[in-house]
Amino acid sequence: MYMQVKDLSIKYGTKMILKQIQMNLQKGEVASIIGPNGAGKTTLLKSMASIIPVERARIWIKDRDIRSYSANELAKTLGYVPQHTAFGYPLTVLETVLLGRKPYMQWNVTAHDLEVAGAIMERLQLAEMAQRYMDELSGGERQKVLIARALAQEPEILLLDEPTSALDIRHQLEVLELVRQLALQQQVLVVLIMHDLELAARYSDRVFLLQQGQIYASGRPEEVFTSANMEQVYGVKVEIGQGSSGLKLTATLPESR
């Protein structure tokens, strides 16, 4: 068990956002979190990233309570990719990626830091854009830079919040191929929040279906993507078939009574 969520409940004021979530995640797997809007997906991911503080003994990484990790230790273990770039003063692509090396840097950027950053940028085909500013890039390119930043942390766990929602089809596939490679070759645990169910089905080893703060179903894609589950959680009728590359889902609205 590489990363565990045990009995996690999160309240905001009087409202329960998450109720007794249980998750067991393995090294090198790709896990998707899906569910309708407001189900609590982002809250869950942020708790796992320790952005939202959690109680003791709720989240475990490598058999250690996440709270026992120092901020720097955690930063070297876990990388987080937000949905959007924050508004702020524009950095160049290289500067953004180098930020990911922060847990390793005192003041200077060492040759090793540059090596790591350089390699990642090559791999994601960002090298030619090194000196361009973030706001000059397209959405897809920007997303890749954010991923590169997280990768520069050399994490063992990668958490991504809807990494494909704003991308065109080509970039979507590129990103998902990339994370699959990472999981396979480098044994990185990848957890993604996905909107696109087909892509989620195609690229995930496991899927967690969230509804109103609880895990409605979890398991391999074909176990979770059933007509019954889809109707129950999303409120649509879904026909599930087999496409050449994976599951094919066709959704229609239910007849109005």
Partner 1 sequence: MQRPIQAIYHGSVKSKLLILTSLFLLLVLLTLYAVSQGAVEVALPELLAILSGRASDEMTAYIVYEIRLPRMVMSIITGVSLACAGAIMQAILRNPLADPFTLGVSSGAAFGAALAIVAGTSVFGINLVSSGQWMIALNAFVFGCLAVGAVYGIAKLKNSSTTVLLLAGVAIGQLFSAGVSGLKFFSNNEALKDLVVWLMGGFWGAKWQVLHILLPLVIISLVLLLKYAWDLNSLCAGEDVARTLGVNVKQVRWVCLLLVTLMASVTIAFTGIIGFIGLVAPHISRIIIGTDYRFLLPCSCLMGALLLLLSDTAARMVLSPIEIPVGIITALFGAPFFVYLLLKKRKDYWA
Partner 2 sequence: MLQKNRKSWIGKAWLFGLLTIFLVVTGCSAASPSSSTPAEQKTEQAVPQEKQELAFQDSAGTAITVKLPVERVVVLNRNTAEAIKLLGAEQYVLATGDTTVKNNPYLGFDSKPDVGETKQINLEQIISLKPQIVFAYTNRPDKTLEEKLEPAGIKVVRMNNYLPEQMDEELKLLGKIFDKSDKADEFLAWKHSIEKLLADRVAGIKEEDKKQVLALSAGFLNTNGGYRIFPSQSLDGKPGVGEGYATILAGGKDAADLQWNPAEASTTIMVDEEYVLKRNPEVITLHGTWLGGYNVKDTKPFEEALRHIMSTTSVSRLKAGQSKDIYFFYTNFVGSDKRYIGNLQLAKYLYPDKFQDIDPEQYAKEYFEKWLGVPYQGIWHYSFKDVQ
- Residues at the site binding partner 1, with contacts judged by CB under 8 A: 46, 49-51, 71-72, 74-76, 78-80, 82, 85-92, 94-96, 98-100, 102-103, 105, 107, 109, 111, 114-115, 117-118, 121, 127, 130-131, 133, 135, 149, 153
Which one among 110, 125, 181, 187 touches partner 2, defined by CB under 8 A? Answer: 110
Q: Report the nearest approach of partner 2 to the CB of residue 9 (Å).
A: 47
Asked if 37 interacts with partner 2 (CB under 8 A), we say: no
Q: Report the nearest approach of partner 1 to the CB of residue 195 (Å).
A: 20
110 binds, among partner 1, partner 2, none (CB under 5 to 8 A by kind): partner 2
Q: Which two tokens stand for residue 178?
A: 């990339």
Between the alpha carbon of residue 24 and those of residues 44, 60, 195, 218, the distances in Å are: 14, 9, 22, 10
Q: Report the nearest approach of partner 1 to the CB of residue 251 (Å).
A: 32
In whole angstroms, give the CA distance from residue 53 to residue 74: 13
Residue 176: enclosing H or E segment and its boundaries?
Answer: helix 169-186
Asked if 228 interacts with partner 2 (CB under 8 A), we say: no
94 binds, among partner 2, partner 1, none (CB under 5 to 8 A by kind): partner 1
80 binds, among partner 2, partner 1, none (CB under 5 to 8 A by kind): partner 1
Asked if 102 interacts with partner 2 (CB under 8 A), we say: no
In the chain, what is the greatest distance between 2 CA atoms, to the nearest angstrom? 67
147: number of CA atoms within 13 Å, CB side?
A: 30
Q: List Cβ<8 Å contacts ≥24 apart for 101-105.
A: 101/152, 101/153, 102/75, 103/72, 103/75, 103/76, 103/153, 104/76
Positions that interact with partner 2 (CB under 8 A): 107-111
